[in-house]
Chain A
């Protein structure tokens, strides 16, 4: 069998080294090449798992033998979906950055972040999970503070403080899990199958700690303050990766948490309430935002809350929906941020009051934005539909009609986004005079993301078969 993970990590590591050593003019191509290899290998993993229905696994060496921690990776059904999302978003980000917009540092950080994300989603034990979590956080911190816009310093610091706050809770939780399991272990699969053997009290404290950690990262109200700044002040590629991939660290962790700790079922109703509040809160805050990226940030938060609804339902379908929701959110929000970046480039401003008539300047940006909205509002044939359908089937079977309440937030978000389209995207003709139109590389980025948004929306059976196995 092909050593899939070795190829992925080798490609990324080699990319990092080459980008750091070679001249700046090669950075763009190194980024594309490395992420393209990752994408191809991940799609091969998807194909393999679809055909054979088995998880792809790789084990290399002992990391902390005293704790029984090995560096081993596994593409479980859940992680396969997230790997796919990560690979696509990474590739789109690398592609869209453009030859002139890429620096050595940006490429290195992007690939490092990719390494962390892929490592995290495929790690088979919690220590690796934690390590890649923190590497991702640090890479993101540098991405914001190295490449962001005017207020990036405070945004980066805020991000770091929140994220490592999450790390702190996560670390304590992981250590508690280790000593709580009957045979001390960090192995995720083992913990999932033996989590119920832990004493209730231990489970409760672990649940609270990890829930807070993952809540910060998703983010869920009221621990979301870092989000808008971080998403807004990052560079376009930074926003794509942070909103698309980094937020999934939290969502993926949340999913694992609910699998690992059976105690979660006890709180599911409260969590649904929290998710619903978070969803409505996000969309209501979004209404008053005049900064395009900030607005999209809150829409992203809404979507993450919806994913939490699926997780909280503790039903198989709801969980599968939330996995699909992560895919949908990753692709959709990355697209929106990419378009927002193009629009910012066109107008030199992110203010909705200032942006007028995008479609006159760049039809592709305008239509990509609309298609992104379709995915986020769950229009069929986009990934968003499958996600919403499954999540709310799960939520309905767990909570009855109350489970459907968060749909109202999606409705509001749809109304809001269409309002933005009518006011800024299609209204007026200012776009025709924009000095900097989206470049071919940005358009290629749209195309990649849209291709997968529709591919996984129209052919959901591929990933659903893998998830269901």
Chain B
């Protein structure tokens, strides 16, 4: 029975239930949520330390003698994700204490985010596709609710709709993949599926479906548009979404099934999509003004890099970035949220005076996060990016990857410098104090980011199956040089205010910011579907009127027949006679036959 312990890590689910039952208790909601997350962290610690490798299954329903189970399994990879979620969740909740300081809507917020956390934890421990699909859909729906949390704001409903419409593509394809896999192999257990031999057409189809599903969740090309719009959600949600949950689900799914992709020879599309997405993300990040959206594009890039690593079958590199990205991205989002909270401004061009004077702790932590993202030794990002670069199989890709590293260094320093400029009107730009409950998780995360470089050494101990890449000399030098160059260029361009913000109508903005016209493509696609709908509506009316017309023809016939009913006795007598003649003819014909 103790094997069921991993299931208990979804403790936030209990918190969510408590919150919705204790509705209208807005004040209590946050404590319940935090308690739930701390409880789950404790359980997760125990699970990650003592239960690795364990599985537990309970039958959900059975069909034709085949049992569909709720299965948990704590493979090393599961434990890794579970630990990340477990660590980040309480921090996010704590951060929410300060950020979500509105009087009302507290219970709705903590209900939704607790459910979201529980979904991710369930996803992390799921040992078969049924369990995973439950978590997957819960993630999609709760993220939809969270992105649309402030639905009263004008753009929010549409942003949430964009997210769910993309996600639902993945959901349906995931379902299709489950159906194909079950029909082909009569099992949905992941470890059982990993051990299947040979690659059949159905396996390839299922893997393709899963891959697209993963791309929708992880916002890879061409499903990348929802992620930046999702920034309309509350910042703690963004921090959560972009660090350890939701978008990581897609990467995790592909990572856990990587042996199958290798077997089916399907690494190439993973790599290609990753590269395209990374380029799009970097270009967008360079031209974006919204303080959170830049980070969102950065996430997209990070995820793309992980996919690239997976595309090289370099699971260790992918997982390393997976781990370190969690911390620095959570940190950066929290910083961004704090800046927004303190200034009320979301545009980095309109934000000034961010520095030691405003808030020392916040500023230092933010710099740590930025340096980690850029890839400065010995922070985690350095190892993460290095791993990706060194796993490149060809020179061209290597060049592309280091170029992406360089550009990401440029945009992240741009992100830091622009709010740090001095206000020309002598510090009229003020900062309100940031609540402690927001600073505490930032500080904790800063420490974690500082320590995250250790992951490079710890991960192989934990998971022996991952071959560690060697650091070498040349690669780190190239990387460090490029990061520093990025830092310098960004300093020259942005810190002095030499580069004003990019005009939305300018050529370079269009080039950088429209993600290869993918957005326009969707606009036209929707228009097309709408037109199709109009066409079908017209067709429907036509069918309707054809059927009506068919019925109406009887009425016309009736009106025509009405003429013989003219009331004249002569007509009736003639009809009588005609009837007799008619009968005679019929008889005669019968007799002749």
Q: Which A residues fall within an 8 A CB radius of B?
A: 161, 222, 225, 281, 284-289, 316-317, 320, 359-360, 374, 377-381, 385-386, 388-390, 392-393, 396-397, 401, 404, 407-408, 410-412, 414-415, 418-419, 421-423, 426-427, 429, 460-461, 464-465, 468
Identify 30 residue pairs between A and B in the complex whose beta-carbon atoms are under 8 Å apart, listed by A's number: A222-B543, A284-B529, A284-B535, A284-B536, A286-B533, A288-B533, A288-B536, A289-B537, A379-B171, A380-B137, A385-B137, A386-B61, A389-B175, A389-B178, A392-B176, A396-B179, A396-B183, A397-B183, A401-B180, A404-B179, A410-B172, A412-B529, A414-B165, A415-B168, A418-B164, A421-B157, A421-B161, A422-B157, A426-B151, A465-B61
With both beta carbons as reference points, the residue of chain A lying nearest to B65 in the complex is identified as A468
Q: Which 3 A-B pairs have the closest CB atoms?
A: A287-B533, A422-B161, A422-B157
**Given A222-B543, A285-B537, A426-B157, A468 and B532 touching (CB < 8 A)?**
no
**Candidate in B144, B205, B543 with the most chain A CB atoms within 10 angstroms:** B543
Decide: B61 and A464 in contact? CB cutoff 8 A. yes
Contact partners of B144 in chain A: CB under 8 A: 418
- Report the minimum CB–CB distance from B359 to chain A (whole Å): 35
- Report the minimum CB–CB distance from A438 to chain B (whole Å): 17
Partner of B62, one of A161, A287, A461: A461
Partner of B141, one of A374, A396, A461, A464: A374
Decide: A287 and B530 in contact? CB cutoff 8 A. yes
Contact partners of A426 in chain B: CB under 8 A: 148, 151, 157, 160
Partner of B63, one of A225, A284, A317, A429: A317
Contact partners of B477 in chain A: CB under 8 A: none
Prevailing SS type, chain B contact patch = helix
Decide: B533 and A285 in contact? CB cutoff 8 A. yes
Residue B534 CB within 8 A of the other chain:
yes
- Report the minimum CB–CB distance from A367 to chain B (whole Å): 9
Decide: A287 and B536 in contact? CB cutoff 8 A. yes
The complex places the Cα of A4 from the Cα of B543 at a distance, in Å, of 45
Decide: A393 and B183 in contact? CB cutoff 8 A. yes
The complex places the Cα of A377 from the Cα of B529 at a distance, in Å, of 19
Encode contact with A along B197-229: 1 for CB under 8 Å, 0 otherwise. 000000001000000000000000000000000
Encode contact with A along B178-191: 1 for CB under 8 Å, 0 otherwise. 11101100000000
Decide: A287 and B529 in contact? CB cutoff 8 A. yes
**Given A316-B64, A389-B178, A468-B63, A380 and B133 touching (CB < 8 A)?**
yes
The complex places the Cα of A392 from the Cα of B180 at a distance, in Å, of 9
Partner of A225, one of B158, B182, B532, B544: B544
Contact partners of A288 in chain B: CB under 8 A: 530, 533-534, 536-537
How many B residues touch A, CB cutoff 8 Å?
Answer: 49
The complex places the Cα of A393 from the Cα of B176 at a distance, in Å, of 9
Residue B540 CB within 8 A of the other chain:
yes
- Report the minimum CB–CB distance from B151 to chain A (whole Å): 4
The complex places the Cα of A418 from the Cα of B151 at a distance, in Å, of 13
The complex places the Cα of A419 from the Cα of B534 at a distance, in Å, of 16
Residue B564 CB within 8 A of the other chain:
no
The complex places the Cα of A384 from the Cα of B113 at a distance, in Å, of 24
Partner of B137, one of A289, A379, A421, A422: A379
Decide: A423 and B63 in contact? CB cutoff 8 A. no
The complex places the Cα of A397 from the Cα of B148 at a distance, in Å, of 39
Having A392-B175, A468-B62, one finds 9 other A-B pairs with CB under 8 Å, namely A284-B535, A287-B533, A287-B537, A396-B183, A401-B205, A404-B176, A422-B148, A427-B151, A461-B59
Decide: A392 and B179 in contact? CB cutoff 8 A. yes
- Report the minimum CB–CB distance from A351 to chain B (whole Å): 15
- Report the minimum CB–CB distance from A452 to chain B (whole Å): 16
Decide: A393 and B182 in contact? CB cutoff 8 A. yes
**Given A285-B536, A418-B168, A464 and B62 touching (CB < 8 A)?**
yes
**Given A287-B532, A392-B175, A427-B151, A317 and B61 touching (CB < 8 A)?**
no
**Given A284-B536, A288-B534, A418 and B179 touching (CB < 8 A)?**
no
Decide: A411 and B168 in contact? CB cutoff 8 A. yes
Encode contact with A along B292-307: 1 for CB under 8 Å, 0 otherwise. 0000000000000000
- Report the minimum CB–CB distance from A125 to chain B (whole Å): 29
Partner of A285, one of B141, B172, B182, B540: B540
The complex places the Cα of A42 from the Cα of B564 at a distance, in Å, of 58
Contact partners of B157 in chain A: CB under 8 A: 421-423, 426-427
Residue B573 CB within 8 A of the other chain:
no
With both beta carbons as reference points, the residue of chain A lying nearest to B176 in the complex is identified as A404
Decide: B141 and A379 in contact? CB cutoff 8 A. yes
Residue B60 CB within 8 A of the other chain:
yes
Residue B547 CB within 8 A of the other chain:
yes
With both beta carbons as reference points, the residue of chain A lying nearest to B177 in the complex is identified as A404
The complex places the Cα of A464 from the Cα of B62 at a distance, in Å, of 7
The complex places the Cα of A381 from the Cα of B13 at a distance, in Å, of 14
Decide: A161 and B175 in contact? CB cutoff 8 A. no
Contact partners of B444 in chain A: CB under 8 A: none
With both beta carbons as reference points, the residue of chain B lying nearest to A284 in the complex is identified as B536
Decide: A378 and B134 in contact? CB cutoff 8 A. no
Encode contact with A along B264-294: 1 for CB under 8 Å, 0 otherwise. 0000000000000000000000000000000
Residue B592 CB within 8 A of the other chain:
no
- Report the minimum CB–CB distance from A278 to chain B (whole Å): 12
- Report the minimum CB–CB distance from B111 to chain A (whole Å): 11
Residue B560 CB within 8 A of the other chain:
no
Residue B14 CB within 8 A of the other chain:
no
Residue B169 CB within 8 A of the other chain:
yes
The complex places the Cα of A104 from the Cα of B537 at a distance, in Å, of 38
- Report the minimum CB–CB distance from A156 to chain B (whole Å): 15
Decide: B164 and A359 in contact? CB cutoff 8 A. no
Decide: B158 and A422 in contact? CB cutoff 8 A. yes
Contact partners of B180 in chain A: CB under 8 A: 396, 401, 404
Residue B465 CB within 8 A of the other chain:
no
Residue B152 CB within 8 A of the other chain:
yes
Q: Which of B147-165 contact A (CB under 8 A)?
A: 148, 151-152, 157-158, 160-161, 164-165
Decide: A284 and B60 in contact? CB cutoff 8 A. no
Residue B551 CB within 8 A of the other chain:
yes
The complex places the Cα of A222 from the Cα of B550 at a distance, in Å, of 14
Decide: B63 and A320 in contact? CB cutoff 8 A. yes
With both beta carbons as reference points, the residue of chain B lying nearest to A401 in the complex is identified as B205
Contact partners of A407 in chain B: CB under 8 A: 172, 175-176
With both beta carbons as reference points, the residue of chain A lying nearest to B166 in the complex is identified as A415
Contact partners of B182 in chain A: CB under 8 A: 393
The complex places the Cα of A427 from the Cα of B150 at a distance, in Å, of 10
Contact partners of B540 in chain A: CB under 8 A: 225, 281, 285
Contact partners of B133 in chain A: CB under 8 A: 380
Contact partners of A412 in chain B: CB under 8 A: 529
The complex places the Cα of A312 from the Cα of B78 at a distance, in Å, of 40
- Report the minimum CB–CB distance from A7 to chain B (whole Å): 30
Decide: A359 and B151 in contact? CB cutoff 8 A. yes
**Candidate in A412, A422, A423, A426 with the most chain B CB atoms within 10 angstroms:** A422
Encode contact with A along B50-85: 1 for CB under 8 Å, 0 otherwise. 000000000111111000000000000000000000
Encode contact with A along B132-145: 1 for CB under 8 Å, 0 otherwise. 01100110010010
Decide: B61 and A460 in contact? CB cutoff 8 A. yes
- Report the minimum CB–CB distance from A78 to chain B (whole Å): 16
Contact partners of B141 in chain A: CB under 8 A: 374, 379
Contact partners of A225 in chain B: CB under 8 A: 540, 543-544, 547-548
The complex places the Cα of A385 from the Cα of B138 at a distance, in Å, of 13
Partner of A460, one of B60, B137, B158: B60
- Report the minimum CB–CB distance from B556 to chain A (whole Å): 17
Contact partners of A460 in chain B: CB under 8 A: 60-61
The complex places the Cα of A401 from the Cα of B206 at a distance, in Å, of 10
The complex places the Cα of A286 from the Cα of B544 at a distance, in Å, of 15
With both beta carbons as reference points, the residue of chain B lying nearest to A366 in the complex is identified as B151
Decide: A390 and B551 in contact? CB cutoff 8 A. no
The complex places the Cα of A420 from the Cα of B162 at a distance, in Å, of 12
**Candidate in B165, B175, B178, B533 with the most chain A CB atoms within 10 angstroms:** B175
The complex places the Cα of A348 from the Cα of B144 at a distance, in Å, of 29
The complex places the Cα of A367 from the Cα of B544 at a distance, in Å, of 35
- Report the minimum CB–CB distance from A371 to chain B (whole Å): 10
- Report the minimum CB–CB distance from B42 to chain A (whole Å): 26
